[in-house]
Amino acid sequence: MTQSVVVQVGQCGNQIGCRFWDLALREHAAVNKKGIYDEALSSFFRNVDTRNGGDGADIHKGKIFSLKARALLIDMEEGVVNEILQGPLRDVFDSKQLITDVSGSGNNWAVGHQLYGCRYREHIVEKLRRMAEHCDCLQCFFVIHSMGGGTGSGLGTFVLNVLEDEFPEVYRFVTSVYPSGEDDVITSPYNSVLAMKELNEHADCVLPIENESLFSIVSKIHQMTNSGKLGSTVKQNSLLTSSSGSIKTEQEKPFDAMNNIVANLLLNLTRLDQMFSDAFSKDHQLIQADPKHSLYLACALLVRGNVQVSDLRRNIERLKPSLHFVSWNQEGWKTGLCSVPPVGHSHSLLALANNTCVKPTFTELKDRFMKLYKKKKWAAEMLASTRDHWTSQSPARKWKTRLELYLNKTKEREDNSEVSSQQEKQIMRKQPVVELTLLPLNNTVYLKNLQQSIKLG
Amino acid sequence: MSIVTVQLGQCGNQIGYEVFNAICSDFHSTHGICSKKENESYQEACKERFFSEEKTGVPVARAVLVDMEPKVISQTLSMAARSGHWKYDHQSHFCQKQGSGNNWANGYSVHGPTYRDVIMNLVQKEAEKCDRLSGFFTVMSMAGGTGSGMGAYVTQCLRDAFPTSFILNQVIWPYGTGEVIVQNYNSVLTLSHLYQSSDALLVHENDAIHKICAQLMNIKKISFRDVNQVIAHQLGSVFQPTYSSEGASQYSRSPLGDLMESLVPHPELKMLGLRNIPQMSENSLAYSTFTWPGLIKHLRQMLIAHAKMEEGIDWQVRPPLPGHPVPPKASPNQALHFNTSVANLVVLRGKDVQSVDLGGFRDPALYTSWLNPQEAFHIWKTPRAFNKYEKSASLVSNSQFLLQLMDNVVGKAWNMFASKAYVHQYTKFGIEEEDFLDCFTTLEQVISSYASL
């Protein structure tokens, strides 16, 4: 089995990461009754012999001595990390897996990226190398961060840069929490857009999550039961890796740059088929988007629990007519089955989709950015840290233009209008990524639906 | 003579296990009404063909298991060992950790060459265990990365290392509604490469088998295990020992050779389809009886009407009358009402096989004009019943069965290729656009050869 390393950056990243490790341990505990360190555990945990104190050697087989998470915790303030280290998960983290500072990034992307990035680069590289050496076969890095703050967005994207330089062959999956419209951090639009540029260039796959969606999902959970966890969505990562031997990123990325994925979390108390239907409805997305009315480029369905191939096929056939797939990939489905259900439930469904419905999200972000930038509010502070990152406003517009062009193109093919395609060709010529079919190919598209339907059984 | 099975990728290994299981359970099943002597010689032949002896007395399957992930192989090995009736040789497997990520190029250009020597060593060892090697039977899917990509590479290596042995590739056609996003690319690449090195390709479609499970076997919640068991039953019904010619006194020594000789008269026409009748759940079996004329009539109609199972056959389809020219088919996209065959093989097992009348299959109207029915139609028989079916008949056909399928897959793959979608994932590993174009050309040629029958 292959291994993955989780890098959690900033307050949000670390808080989510903490819940992730908690769930991962509970999942393994539910299945691994004999306490044997097996391949599934090794994907996220090391088995370390701490009896003789210090950095014990890794034990690859046999009984579990002490499980250490394959994680790197980074934060420029100590509060959150300290809390984790004093909490119930303290033994899961190695003291050498932390990078902290005291003063924080002041919600300034530039401070996180430029200042702390430069200062801590060597440290980060060294710790990542050490984690990689402990892995037999490292397959991917999971980066968890938020986009609105300073450390998560700035230093988080810096780490992404480092990962690409040092480990070009290892996949980089990023879970990004996007700020909501009423976010209390004033500079969040700047931070987000600057971070998006980095994600565009250095991430293989992005799962955007919006706090608004999480709030509505949590309130749904509260309605149905009395428990709910805010960070529970990110745990989908564990589903992805434990159920598939190799991460099939190719499935979702038709073009080199299209790697944004919209995530959906779905809770369902009813039957199996209902779970599938809900997975595609807009109420259960991890960002505010409606995938049914947009174009799907590809969709992956990963089921856990007692679900058979016939259930999967039946539901795909049932739902297919109501979903719009891109013309050259009408059967763009990837299916996977894992017989181990998630802890506390009898089955669940994870749907990841590469869908154009993220366009409104990014358009809104861009609008918020422009509002601030027009008045040059706060720009001076950020400019003081860096000059040339201001060109990053254009990527947001580029993607939007490209998405529009793509969607227009689809419409045009129906209209058969020559003129607009000429215009597009002109526009396209300016973009360095023109391809044969005039589709936006080299841009990171943040479109993935991560949908989990959990039947409370 | 023995057959060495090479199980490639997750699908290949799971099916391979079910095949050996089916063969073993047939081996142990009651022999119907054939004589004890007959039964013993059947069992002898079956054992020599598929298993080797070991000191412990448990037959060891003549198989090499290859996969780029460890899960499936370790599951397969342990399930076989637990059965008690047979097992795999625990040295005869090869696996890695990372998998191929459903990427044909990864399997073919990266994993293939890297692990070529190790895998060929394992195959060589198995081949040496055989007194006489009849040939190789590979099991793989077309949609994934290892089975398809690495499978194509391994087939090439087999051809290079064993130029005079027969190679039969069993390929699984994925669900039409999509199970792997790049399945069309993977299928096109696999088919075109296999065509160069393999002697024949035997195809099973997931969709068809799924329907058999749902409608004939009455299984409510169909799992992959059910699908694989049906496939294994069909394969077993062809490859278990038979007498391949009239008046033969011993079981055929060279099943693969006989198969190739009968069914593949032209190197351009290698696609074989398989139909088996009857197929039903065990519970229903106890209450059903069959007559040979009924079975043969259904089988013949399944052949000419492109039916995949014995329910829902279109009885309106008739062979063209002599003297009337066959209506020209403008393109393979037109629904092919009548299935023209190149060659057919019918395998009969069970009670009263000597009395079966197969005249319907000798009708020249069924066949293409450049081969007459004497040469195009073959029968293999044995009075020994197969796996609880008192009478069973299988049809292996080199005909236009797969024409529509191939055309669809090539069409979809071309559509995607024209948009250059996912191509960068393949070029990353060394499969360039020219390679894709070559593959499309090869397959278009095969399609047009079949269409013009």
In the prediction, which pLDDT does B311 show?
Answer: 83
Contact A170, A138 (CB under 8 A): yes
Distance of residue B199 Cα from the nearest chain A Cα, in angstroms: 31
Instruction: Please state at what angle helix B183-197 crosses helix B403-418, rounded to 10 degrees.
Output: 120
A251 inside 8 A of chain B by CB? yes
Rounded CA separation B401/B189 (Å):
20
Strand partners, A172: A141
Among residues A152, A193, A198, which one has the least CA distance to residue A176?
A: A152
Band (A328; pLDDT cuts 50, 70, 90): confident
Rounded CA-CA distance A369/A347 in Å is 41
Q: Do A137 and B98 touch (CB under 8 A)?
A: yes
Q: For chain A, what is the mean pLDDT?
A: 72
B352: helix, strand or coil: coil
**Residue A246 predicted with pLDDT over 60:** no
**Four-point Cα dihedral A44, A48, A50, A51, nearest 10:** 140
Residue with tokens 């990728």: B9
Report whether pLDDT(B148) > 90: yes
Q: What is the pLDDT of residue A450?
A: 31
> Among A431, A414, A256, which residue's Cα sits nearest to residue A327?
A414
- Which residues are registered as beta bridge partners of B67? B95
Q: Which of residues 333-392 of B touch A (CB under 8 A)?
A: none
Task: Tell me whether residue A52 is exposed, middle or buried, using C-beta atoms within 10 angstroms of its C-beta: 0 to 12, 13 to 18, 19 or more.
Answer: exposed
Give the minimum alpha-carbon distance from A311 to chain B in angstroms, rounded to a whole number. 7
Q: What ipTM was estimated for this complex?
A: 0.77
Which residues in chain B are contacts of A204 at CB distance < 8 A? none
Distance CA B218, CA A402 (A): 50
- Going across the sheet that includes B166-173, the strands are B93-95, B63-67, B2-8, B133-141, B166-173, B200-205, B271-277, B391-399, B341-350, B377-382
> A309 and B224 in contact by Cβ < 8 A?
yes
Q: What's the pLDDT band for B445 if we cut at 50, 70, 90? A: very high
Q: Which of the residue ranges A125-134, A320-329, B399-408 would you say has the lowest mean pLDDT? A: A320-329
Smallest CA–CA distance, residue A2 to chain B, in Å, is 6
| A10 dihedral zone (left: phi>0; alpha: psi -120 to 50; beta) | left
A386 CA: distance to closest CA in chain B (Å): 34
Cβ pair A166, A128 in contact under 8 A? yes
Distance CA A395, CA A442 (A): 12
> Are B97 and A435 an interchain contact pair (Cβ–Cβ within 8 Å)?
no
Longest dimension (CA), chain A: 76
Phi–psi pair at B372, nearest 5 degrees = -90, 155
Cβ count within 10 A of residue A118? 10
What are the residues facing B60 on neighbouring strands?
Answer: B52, B87
Read off the pLDDT band of A389 (50, 70, 90). Answer: very low
What 8-state DSSP symbol labels residue B148?
I
Nearest-Cα distance to chain B for A54, in Å, is 30
Residue given tokens 């060459």 in the structure block = B113
In this prediction, residues A251-276 reach a mean pLDDT of 50
**Residue B357, helix vs strand vs coil:** coil
Residue with tokens 């002697």: B199
A180 touches chain B (CB under 8 A): no
Residue B8 belongs to what H/E stretch?
strand B2-8
Rounded Cα distance between A188 and B86, Å, is 65
Please list, in sequence order, all residues whose beta carbon lies within 8 angstroms of the beta carbon of residue B287, skipping any fewer than 6 positions away.
none
CB–CB contact B179 A310 (8 Å): no
**Three-state secondary-structure class, residue B121:** helix
| C-alpha span between B4 and A428 (Å, rounded) | 55
**Residue A169: Cβ-neighbour burial (10 angstroms; 0-12, 13-18, 19+):** exposed
Are A2 and A246 in contact, with CB atoms under 8 Å apart? yes
Mean pLDDT of A339-355: 79
For the four alpha carbons of B433, B434, B440 and B442, in that order, the dihedral sign comes to: negative
Question: Could you give the CA distance from residue A295 to residue B288 in angstroms, rounded to a whole number?
Answer: 51
- For chains A and B, CB pairs below 8 A equal 118
pLDDT 10s digits, A21-53: 988 888 888 888 888 888 788 888 888 877 665
Q: What is the pLDDT of residue B435?
A: 92
Average pLDDT over residues B424-439: 90
Higher pLDDT, A434 or A410: A410
In A272-331, the residues whose Cβ lies within 8 Å of chain B are: 298, 300, 308-311, 313, 316-317, 320, 327-331
Q: Mark yes or no for CB contact A309/B102 under 8 Å.
A: no
Q: Determine whether the interchain pair A255/B181 forms a contact, defined as Cβ–Cβ distance below 8 Å.
A: no
CA–CA separation, A159 vs A165, rounded Å? Answer: 10
Q: Is pLDDT at B377 greater than 60 in this prediction?
A: yes
The pLDDT confidence band at residue A241, using thresholds 50, 70 and 90, is very low
- To which H or E segment does residue A452 belong? strand A451-455
**CA–CA distance, A354 with A332 (Å, rounded to integer):** 10
Mean pLDDT of B169-196: 91
- Across the interface, whether the CB atoms of A313 and B175 are under 8 A apart is answered yes
Amino acid code (one letter) for A135: C
Residue B151 has pLDDT above 80, yes or no: yes
Chain B residues with beta carbon closer than 8 angstroms to that of A39: 70-71
**Is the pLDDT score of A61 beyond 80?**
no
**Range with the lowest mean pLDDT among A333-347, A396-410, B268-282, B415-429?**
A396-410
* pLDDT on residue A329: 82
pLDDT of residue A414: 37
Give me B318's structure tokens: 């008739």
Q: Looking at per-residue confidence, does B90 or A450 come out higher?
A: B90
Q: What is the DSSP letter of B149?
A: I
Label residue B31 by pLDDT band (50, 70, 90). low
CB-nearest partner of A136 from B97, B224, B420: B97
In chain A, positions 69-98, which contact chain B (CB-CB < 8 Å)?
Answer: none
Nearest-Cα residue of chain A relative to residue B180: A334
Reduce the DSSP state of residue B124 to 3 states and report it: helix
* Token couple for A128: 């990542």
* pLDDT greater than 60 at residue A232: no
Question: A427 vs B39, which has greater pLDDT?
Answer: B39
pLDDT grade, residue A231 (50/70/90)?
Answer: very low
Minimum CA–CA partner of B185 in chain A? A329
- Dihedral class, residue B339 (left if φ above 0, else alpha if ψ from -120 to 50, else beta): beta
Mutation for testing the B interface, residue in A328, A334, A337, A434 having most B CBs under 10 Å = A328
Between residues B326 and A264, the one the model is more confident about: B326
In sequence order, the β-bridge partners of residue A455 are: A268
Identify the three-state secondary structure at position A103. Answer: coil
Contact A63, A37 (CB under 8 A): yes
Hey, of B74, B148, B181, B424, which one would you mutate to test binding to chain A, going by the most A CBs within 10 A of its CB?
B181
pLDDT at B12: 94
Helices (H), B341-382: 373-376
Lowest-pLDDT choice from A162-166, A247-251, A395-399: A247-251
CA distance A410 to B298: 47
* Higher per-residue confidence, A17 vs A37: A17
| B222–A contact, CB cutoff 8 A | yes
CA-atom Rg of chain B in angstroms: 21
- The DSSP secondary structure of B283-338, one letter per residue, reads HHHTT----HHHHHHHHHHHHHTT-SSSSS--TT--PPPTTSPPPP-S-TTS---S
List B residues 198-217 in contact with A (Cβ-Cβ < 8 A). 210, 213-214
Mean pLDDT of A111-121: 90
How many helices and strands, by DSSP H and E, does chain A display? 15, 15
Q: How far apart are CA B229 and CA B221, in angstroms?
A: 14
pLDDT at A258: 44
Q: What is the pLDDT of residue A437?
A: 19
Judge whether residue B441 has pLDDT over 80. yes
B369 vs B384: CA distance, rounded Å: 35
pLDDT score for A136: 86
pLDDT at A156: 93
SS3 content of chain A, % helix, strand, coil (to 5): 50, 20, 30
CB proximity list for A289: less than 8 A, separation 6 or greater: A262, A282, A355, A357, A358, A360, A361, A449
pLDDT of B166 higher than 60? yes
Q: Is the peptide bond before B320 cis (omega within 30 degrees of 0)?
A: no
As a whole number, mean pLDDT of residues A279-297 equals: 77
Residue-level pLDDT at A56: 59
- Three-class SS state of B92: coil
Coil, helix or strand at residue A145: strand
